[in-house]
Every structure is written in C-alpha cells, then in structure tokens.
Structure 1
Amino acid sequence: FNEIDQQNTIWLVCTSTYGAGDYPDNLISFVEQVSQVDDLSHLKYSVIALGDTSYDTYNLAGRNIDALLSQKGAVKVAQRLELNILDEALPEDTALAWLDSWIAQTGLK
C-alpha cells in the first residue's frame, strides 16, 4: 500500500475471491494496510472482481475491497465490474472491453 502512488492517480483494483469469500493471499497485506488508514478521500478508484456464481460468496472479495475503499472516503469513478468465470470464455476479454469505456469515463485518454 505504501509503495503505491496515492496522489493524482486512479487505482484499478483487480481481485478474485478465494475459498469462502476471502481475499487472495497476494492482496491480504494490502487490505490490512488500507484498513489502518483513516482518510483516503484524495484517492480515486475502481474495482474489477472475478468470481464463480456457483459459490454463495460470489465476488465477495471484490465487493469487500470496494466497500472498504468507500468507507475510507475514496471516490469510486466507475461501477465495479463483476466477472463470472462460468459465463466468460475469456474473462480478460470482457475486462479489456470494459477497460476502454473506463479509460474514457475517467478522462485518462
């Protein structure tokens, strides 16, 4: 978290859900550090969540990081993209198509 530029940037957080709605191992320390920050009102962000609708915890990690960032005051610049691995032959293709509209919406291009 501390190594990521937090000024004049827009974060795009991409995560899957592991196990029973948990964060993947490589995101846990990031989430713990974000949890310790009081004010992220200077930060803009969006979330891409990858999950499997055969689980009742579908995309819970993506929903939780979205809620955490919002609770800390970060500004969401686009609705969360939720990808269902069962519906997507190649989820990255859907994400790339969404990314074009996200870039336009955020004014990055």
Structure 2
Amino acid sequence: MLERHLLIRRSTVPDKEDEKTGGLVREITCFPCRTAPGVTMAEPVTAAGQGWTVEEAFQVAKGQVGLDEHEVRKWCSWYRQATVHMLVMVFLVAARRRPTPCQPLTPGHRP
C-alpha cells in the first residue's frame, strides 16, 4: 500500500511580490507525493528538485533550438520535429562540454 505525503517547499529568498502589500515574500510550493512504505523523505525531496532541472532544460531548448516553434497537425510530425530539436540540444550540450585544446604560444604570437 502506498503512503501519502505532502511535500511543502519554501523559497530560501523572498522573490515573489505580495499582491496585497506589494512587499517581497517567499514562494511556497506544495507537492502531493505517494511513496512505498519505508521510503525516506530524502527521495521525494530529490525527485521534486529534479523536476525543476527538467523544466529548466525545456525552457533552454525552447529558447536555443526552437522547441516551441512548430506548426504541425499530427502526432507523428510533432514527434519527428521534437526528436530533431532534442538531438540538436544534445549536440550543443556535448559541444559545450568538450574542452577546447589550447594552442602553445610561439614567441611571435599575439592573442
């Protein structure tokens, strides 16, 4: 039987403007969780934190490779286009992580 939990996360810095007072407040987010018996609370906390990473990756993909710019009518066409966009994103991340070799400086070389 699964156990039910409510994971409540509060922002560490005040970053959201209060509608009534206009002051900055800490944002509070709630996550309903269902876990197997004996699961520590660290696991749902980690899973909730990884969700932010996934959302951030989608936002970057929308901005850099145009993931949100599609005009298709069928699932198959959208799937092909999204696959190409994700492959381009993987290529860009791999290219960014590859170290660039430094050229040895020669006596007459100026950067």
Q: Same fold (TM over 0.5)?
A: no
Provide TM-score, normalisation by structure 1.
0.30
Q: For the pair shown, which has the larger CA radius of gyration, 1 or 2?
A: 2
Provide TM-score, normalisation by structure 2.
0.30
